[in-house]
Structure 1
Amino acid sequence: MAAARQDAQLGIMAFSDQKELYLAPGKGIRHAYSLIKRLFELEPRSRQTAVGSGIKQALGLLKRRSIILLISDFIDTNYERELTMLARKHDLVVVQLLDKREQEFPPLGIVPLLDQETGRTVWVNTSAEAFRKRYRATYEQNREQIGQICRRHRTEYLSIATDVDFVPQLVRLFRRRNQRGGRA
């Protein structure tokens, strides 16, 4: 097992509705630092989201079975087919980022909401019970959908709240994987 870790290569692909960054797999601490630096400096060209399209691009780039760490908020639709293909072909670990502010919308009254992806502004009564229920239901449905997909394909799944320390959760996940020998 130690020899496999020494031979491990790290690469990265970041996407929106297009490929934002791709760094080919490489070895060594210098390469790892380079990946982190480039990811930290990334300024996306697009505000659009297309999880399915990003996964398709990854599938086209990855020729050998790999361990894939897919990190997203998964606030998108129509990515299940691509995620299924990725889970079948690779050892997939899905990390869903959850922002408390997206879970429960504050009752602010009638306010303009700007859709970052379309650029459209819509006036919404955020205090209305119907709006709040619909908003919460959409959030819960999104979270449940990704969890179901991962369970169906026996894929590792971890949801991480953005307002808590994520390191202990990741350590537990990878310790559990290491004890099982990788894939669930």
Structure 2
Amino acid sequence: MAGTTLGGDTGTGTARAEAVLSRLQLLVTRKLDGLLQGDYAGLLPGPGSEAGESREYRPGDDVRRMDWPVTARTTLPHVRRTVADRELETWMAIDLSASLDFGTALHLKRDLVLAAATAMAHLTVRGGNRIGAVVGTGAGSVPKSRFRRRAPEAPAAAPVIRLPARPGRKEAQGLLRAIAHTEIRPGRADLGALIDMLNRPPRRRGVAVVISDFMAPVDGWARPVRKLGVRHDVLAIEVVDPRELELPDVGVLTLADPETGELHEVQTADPKLRHRYAEAAAEQRGAIATALRAAGAAHLRLRTDTDWLLDIVRFVAAQRHARTRGTTR
């Protein structure tokens, strides 16, 4: 499959968001429909998560669902029913910090965030399943007075949009449209607090998806992810641009921090600098992967310079194969 484009490379706003979203929905529908086999339509497939009633075994039943305690008491083989297959609830934590409004390859990182959210919605919103989201972005800048100087004010709290979980494709499209139209503000969302919102109020077991570049300090979000994994199947989707992993040799490069607006001049012709940068980036990504693995989360990395849809297809296929063989992530 050739590289997949998300739409126009320039411009923002409603028209672009709608064009990107329409393109994404068409691509996801065409490429991912073949992966949805069976009653469970979630990304992390399995026999079910909520225990239901037991019934006597019938020829053709999955022996992995045998209810051995009931079988021992009644001396007749019984299987355990599960009820989550048709009542799956998926919640997404969408990080739209200013660092996501960046991209040097095929896509912007925010486009990949929307692509991942679209794929999650398509993979889960079937058979009465519900999907909701919490969306966080930066706090924005505080306007300065035109007439007098004053001490800088404390930054405003980062806004969070909560989109309630509802069943149906129409509702899922509305949720994706709300995400696509979310304005990215300067500053960084509190990723730990955003993830923690998926723990409140307590919900029955379901799927929790965290979509971010995870550029925030690991200590700030690792514990909320571990807490989330106690009750839910957690999927972490990490969005990465190649320039965040290594610097090209292009001479003096002026870099702007998208979250603070600070400018930095970097002499990329220095091989030692490029080597230190690559080492630091590898160490950072390694720490992210270690924290997610310790939390028991499935980890999918999407890059702006690769075919994101092919990466998702491979990931879903690998998850299904692992579950079929009874292995862990």
With the shorter chain as reference, the TM-score category is 0.7 to 0.9
Q: Which has the larger share of strand?
A: 1
Residue in structure 1 matching 2:137, options 16, 39, 46: 16
* In structure 1, C-alpha distance between the alignment counterparts of 2:175 and 2:129, rounded to whole Å: 14
What is the deviation of 1:54?
Answer: 1.7
Determine the structure 2 residue equivalent to 1:147.
289
Structure 1 range deviating more: 11-20 or 26-35 = 11-20
Alpha-carbon distance in structure 1 between the residues aligned to 2:202 and 2:175:
17
What CA deviation, in whole Å up to 9, does each residue of 1:142-181 have, x standing for no partner? 2212221232233211112122222232223234434517
- Kindly provide the CA deviation profile for residues 97-128 of structure 1, in whole angstroms up to 9, marking residues without a partner as x: 12112222122333432212122222332222
Structural mapping, 1:124-135, within 5 Å: 124-135=266-277
Q: Contact (CA 8 Å) 2:226, 2:294: kept in 1 or not?
A: no
Say whether the 8 Å CA contact 2:235–2:297 is kept in structure 1: yes
Amino acid in structure 2 at the alignment position of 1:89 = R
**In the alignment, structure 1 residue 75 sits paired with structure 2 residue 196:** no
Given that 1:12 and 1:22 are in contact with CA atoms closer than 8 Å, whether structure 2 keeps it comes out as yes
How far apart, CA to CA, are the structure 2 residues paired with 1:106 and 1:61?
A: 46
Percent identity between the two aligned chains:
26
Distance, in Å, in 2 between the alignment partners of 1:12 and 1:135 is 34
Amino acid aligned to 1:7: G
- Cα 1:103–1:34 shift into 2, 3 Å: same
In the alignment, what sits opposite 1:90? Answer: 232
Match of 2:244 among 94, 98, 102: 102
Q: CA–CA distance in 2 between the matches of 1:48 and 1:153? A: 23
Q: Structure 1: 5+ residue runs without aligned partners? A: none
Q: Which of these residues, 154, 171, 181, is aligned with residue 313 of structure 2? A: 171
TM-score (norm 2): 0.50
Number of residue pairs matched? 184
Q: State the distance in 2 between where 1:16 and 1:133 align.
A: 32
In structure 1, C-alpha distance between the alignment counterparts of 2:272 and 2:222, rounded to whole Å: 28
Stretches of structure 2 that go unaligned for 5 or more consecutive residues are 1-37, 40-84, 87-125, 139-157
Over the residues paired in the alignment, what is the CA RMSD in angstroms? Answer: 2.5
Q: Is the 8 A contact 1:20 1:45 kept in 2?
A: no
Equivalent position of 2:301 in the other structure:
159
Letter of the structure 2 residue corresponding to residue 12 of structure 1: A
Cα contact 1:16–1:54 (8 A) shared by 2: no
**Greater Cα offset, 135-144 or 55-64:** 55-64
Matched position secondary structure for 1:6: coil
Counterpart of 2:181?
41
**Residue identity in the other structure for 2:128:** D
Kindly provide the amino acid, as one letter, of the partner of residue 135 in structure 2.
A
The 1:9/1:178 distance shift into structure 2, 3 A limit, reads farther
How far apart are the structure 1 equivalents of 2:317 and 2:159?
31
The code of the aligned residue for 1:70 comes to V
TM-superposed deviation, 1:11: 0.6
Task: Tell me the equivalent position of 2:197.
Answer: 57
Distance 1:165 1:75, change over 3 A: same
1:113 aligned to which of 255, 259, 263 = 255
* Conserved? CA contact 1:49–1:117, under 8 Å: no
Alignment CA distance shift 1:29-1:101 (3 Å): same
